[in-house]
Amino acid sequence: MVDAVFWGTMIPLVFLIILLKGENRLMMLFFAWGMVAFAASVGVNDLLRARGAILPADLSVTWAPIIEEFFKALPLLYFLIRKQKTDYALFSFALAAGIGFSIQENYTYLLSQAAVASSLTFYVILRSITTCLMHGMATGLLGFGLTLIKEFRVLTLPLLFGLFSLSVILHALFNLYIASSVRLIGMLMPLMLYMVSVLVIYRGNILSDTVQAEASEG
């Protein structure tokens, strides 16, 4: 069933991507990659469980965050070799990959809960503003960091490793909090990070527009 949902989403999306141009197409490609990243992550996680390499209860706070963040972040390496600036913030491309991943994950949990959940609508909404945002924000951190790396061009590999580690830690902390008595902290964490990110991008756009206006007047 999960495979059917994947192809049922991906094939129509490919038709749309073909018609798009420029960075709109690139944005949708990142979104589509997120769905591919989910499928790849599920395969690796299932392999670890099948071989008994790790207990299922421990997977969500150990290897799963590393595996999932790795696959989600892979296409972001494109921006290290791209010289021209993008119209969208790199955070937006990273968020698109994370959201694509989370939508496929939502389908999986929705199918598993269909027979037991009393209100699927409430369940999906709750996941969408918590887990979905977490996947987006964890990858989005790398987008913010790549902006700084492209700006200063120093310590690229150490910074990439540090940013990746930070995204993995955020992911693992969320999974740990959600399964504990302080789950409210985990539920609020992605939403707060998203609000801060929107504010930073919004203020950055205002400053950029101001600088351009002053340059044109001068």
- pLDDT tens string, the chain, 218 residues long: the values are 678 888 999 999 999 999 999 999 999 999 999 999 999 999 999 888 888 767 777 888 889 999 999 999 999 999 988 888 888 889 999 999 999 999 999 888 887 776 665 667 787 888 888 999 999 999 999 998 888 888 777 778 888 899 999 999 999 999 999 888 888 988 999 999 899 888 887 776 655 555 455 555 55
Tell me what pLDDT residue 211 has: 46
Report the alpha-carbon distance of residue 72 to residue 92 in Å, rounded.
13
Looking at residue 85, the DSSP 8-state letter turns out to be P
pLDDT of amino acid 155: 74
Calpha distance 100→149 (Å, rounded) = 25
The pLDDT value recorded for residue 33 is: 97
What integer pLDDT is reported at residue 24 of this predicted model? 95
pLDDT of residue 93: 95
Residue 166's pLDDT is 92
HSE at residue 98, side-chain half, CA atoms within 13 A, is 29
CA-to-CA dists, residue 75 to 62, 191, 202, angstroms: 23, 24, 25
- Look at residue 122 in the predicted model and tell me its pLDDT: 80
Delimit the domains of the chain by residue range. Answer: 2-191
| Residue 136: other Cβ atoms inside 10 A | 27
Q: What angle do CA 208, 211, 212 make, to 5 degrees?
A: 85
What value, to the nearest 5°, has the Cα angle with vertex 137 and ends 136 and 142?
Answer: 100
All residues at 6 or more sequence positions from 16 whose CB lies less than 8 Å from its CB, including other chains: 28
What is the pTM (predicted TM-score) of this model? 0.87
Q: How far apart are CA 138 and CA 11, in angstroms?
A: 27
